[in-house]
Structure 1
Amino acid sequence: MSDLKYQMLTILGPTASGKTTVGAHAAQMLDGEVISADSRQVYRGMDLGTGKDYADYTVDGIQIPYHLIDIVDAGYEYNVFEYQNDFLNVHADVCSRGKFPVLCGGSGLYLEAVLKNYRLIQVPLNEDLRTELESKNLVELTEILKSYKTVLHNNSDIETKKRAIRAIEIEAYLVDNPEVDRKMPELNSLVVGVKYDRLSRRRRITERLTQRLDEGMLSEVQTLLDSGLTPEQLTYYGLEYKYLTLHLTGELTFDEMFRGLETAIHQFAKRQMTWFRRMERQGTQIHWLDGYMPLPEKLERIKDWLSR
């Protein structure tokens, strides 16, 4: 397809929307490779809980290359700055081999870090500052963060003490140090979203949660605990890892865990859609595909949009 007006294809959508399947098939159609934009699939050993659907990357018996999955060990705190840098390296490699990049994921901050040309900066650990902040409670940390940022656009920064301390650490560094400016390349990307209606999305989430528990998601979390990760470290990753850890440590019954996690994933999917709608309001054009549309029709739509 040499007549394409775009340099990249982005496939986004909330959890359980089937975006990975669409992304992999689109990559095959375009002689391309998939670059993940998922903030949790970067971790090794966190497979079922993060929804790594490896089978989706095999299309008609052909393995579609994918990147930025399984690149760091569980327990490490990967961040958007590292993602930007890793994306740049992978994108350059994919393009140098004449392959078409297909960005695919549901982590809004990671997607925008690429699509909005965010500037890059690495923020080192500040042990003295961390020690000073450790005695503060979350309310106090939130106020300190607000002293740097009047408006908190990312509420996940104040979900836990650990996240709040890191957010303060980053803001303090930015005050004291000039930014290392490594800009993203100018990427003209077609952005395609995949979504279901709300009731269908809820049903798919519940069915997928049940399936992954049947496939051994509890055992996966227990293995991570047995490997030396603390309950606090696993809780940091949220959703499945938070609730399954609380169950395995005896704080929740299985039913309490299931119902709490089910509700949390529904709320997460809703927040993802809110983020995507905000992207649209701020100028990102998203071409939406109905999840129920047959896959061949989805691919034809994408092909048409890419060439139009």
Structure 2
Amino acid sequence: MKKLLTILGPTASGKTDLATHVAYRLNAEIISADSRQVYRGMTIGTGKDLGDYVVNGVTIPYYLIDICQPGTKYNLFLYQQDFYNVYTEIQKRDVQPILCGGTGLYIESVLKGYQLSPVPQNGILRTMLANKTLDELSVLLRDLKARNGSVMHNLTDVDTAQRAIRAIEIETYNLEHPLPKRELPAIDSIIIGVDIDRDLRREKISKRLCQRLDNGMIEEVKGLMEQGISAEDLIYYGLEYKYITEYLIGRTSYGEMVHNLEIAIHQFAKRQMTWFRGMERRGFTIHWVNARLPMEEKVESVIALLG
């Protein structure tokens, strides 16, 4: 049975490129840990970069990308189940699995084996919360998290009232229906973090945003709206989909959209690093690899850690 290799890092760090090059060397297969890349048709805005999965003419198998329709509400519970199904199948074939992504909560949930339950919508609670501001909702969520001892629903990631209400709904359910912390087994994994310095990260984020806008990211969001995906649902997905949708429905100008989106992506990358540092405080060992190193050096250092 192959030991799981996990490669994580903030947006624009080059983690997928590293994971695919390692996979090429090891004949490995990649399981994505990205909360937005699960949606079909949301390609440019989520940075799927599917071209990275072709290395020296070889297509690296990948999973949990493009598995559900936009407009649906994929969640942590579903991800955990989907991950275990794929992980088990890969292990049965004695193939090296690589977990790769930037959604720290998804990664932590499967490595620690948290027990989760599908939380139904609570109509009464939603009605009670409907007229509250995001700040008011954030205060309620902070209190529930403290009472639950919860590490889920990072307050800085709950950036819309809709997301905050859903987080409160989940935390309320878990408070009223306490569960043991684990059901699925924890997974021992060698964890690699791509360490990209702040200046390079900011440079790559800004450059990549310009490229995505030039490559049709606005048209992608417009196409999703034309398919019937509501503005509310697209705003729920945050970042590129939130800011571009607000521009398309006339809430902001093009210049405001680009400026605010760039700031939001920089803040998002910072939050990702905060989560990964938090994982270290919670007992995970992360082996950091310098993003500036040549690819071959990075690959060799990762393989050496596998033994």
Q: Output the TM-score relative to the length of structure 2.
A: 0.91
Report whether the alignment pairs 1:218 with 2:214. Answer: no
**Displacement of 1:141 after TM fit?**
3.7
CA RMSD of aligned residues (A): 2.1
Contact 1:194 1:290 in 2 (8 A): yes
The one of 108, 115, 123 equivalent to 2:111 is 115
Report whether the alignment pairs 1:25 with 2:21. Answer: yes
Which residue number in structure 1 is paired with residue 167 of structure 2?
A: 167
Higher mean alpha-carbon deviation, 247-256 vs 20-29, is at 247-256
**Displacement of 1:53 after TM fit?**
0.7
Which residue number in structure 1 is paired with residue 123 of structure 2?
A: 127
Change (3 A) 1:158 1:56: closer
Contact 2:17 2:52 in 1 (8 A): yes
- Equivalent position amino acid for 1:75 in 2: G
Sequence identity percentage: 53
Report whether the alignment pairs 1:192 with 2:188. Answer: no
Map 1:212-251 onto structure 2 (within 5 A): 212-251=212-251
Higher mean alpha-carbon deviation, 137-146 vs 125-134, is at 137-146
Contact 1:7 1:189 in 2 (8 A): yes
Question: Does the residue aligned with 1:131 lie in a helix, a strand or coil?
Answer: helix
Q: Distance in 1 between matches of 2:49 and 2:216?
A: 14
Q: Distance in 1 between matches of 2:198 and 2:61?
A: 32
Change (3 A) 1:143 1:300: closer
- Equivalent position amino acid for 1:32 in 2: A
Higher mean alpha-carbon deviation, 40-49 vs 74-83, is at 74-83
Q: Distance in 2 between matches of 1:78 and 1:39?
A: 8
The one of 9, 32, 36 equivalent to 1:36 is 32
- Equivalent position amino acid for 1:18 in 2: G
Q: Distance in 1 between matches of 2:208 and 2:87?
A: 31
Which residue number in structure 2 is paired with residue 255 of structure 1?
A: 255
- Equivalent position amino acid for 1:10 in 2: T
The one of 48, 53, 68 equivalent to 1:57 is 53
Contact 1:121 1:180 in 2 (8 A): no
- Count residues in correspondence: 303
Report whether the alignment pairs 1:282 with 2:276. Answer: no
Which residue number in structure 1 is paired with residue 305 of structure 2?
A: 305
Change (3 A) 1:191 1:211: same
- Equivalent position amino acid for 1:273 in 2: M
Tell me which stretches of 4 or more aligned residues in structure 1 moved more than 4 Å. Answer: none
**Displacement of 1:123 after TM fit?**
1.2
Which residue number in structure 2 is paired with residue 102 of structure 1?
A: 98
Structure 2 alignment gaps of length 5 or more: none
**Displacement of 1:173 after TM fit?**
2.4
Q: Distance in 2 between matches of 1:144 and 1:289?
A: 38
**Displacement of 1:138 after TM fit?**
3.8
Contact 1:157 1:167 in 2 (8 A): no
Contact 1:121 1:181 in 2 (8 A): no
Contact 1:34 1:67 in 2 (8 A): yes
Contact 1:156 1:163 in 2 (8 A): no
* CA displacement 1:17-50 (0-9 Å, x = unmatched): 1110111111222221100000110111100000
Which residue number in structure 2 is paired with residue 11 of structure 1?
A: 7
The one of 76, 83, 91 equivalent to 2:79 is 83
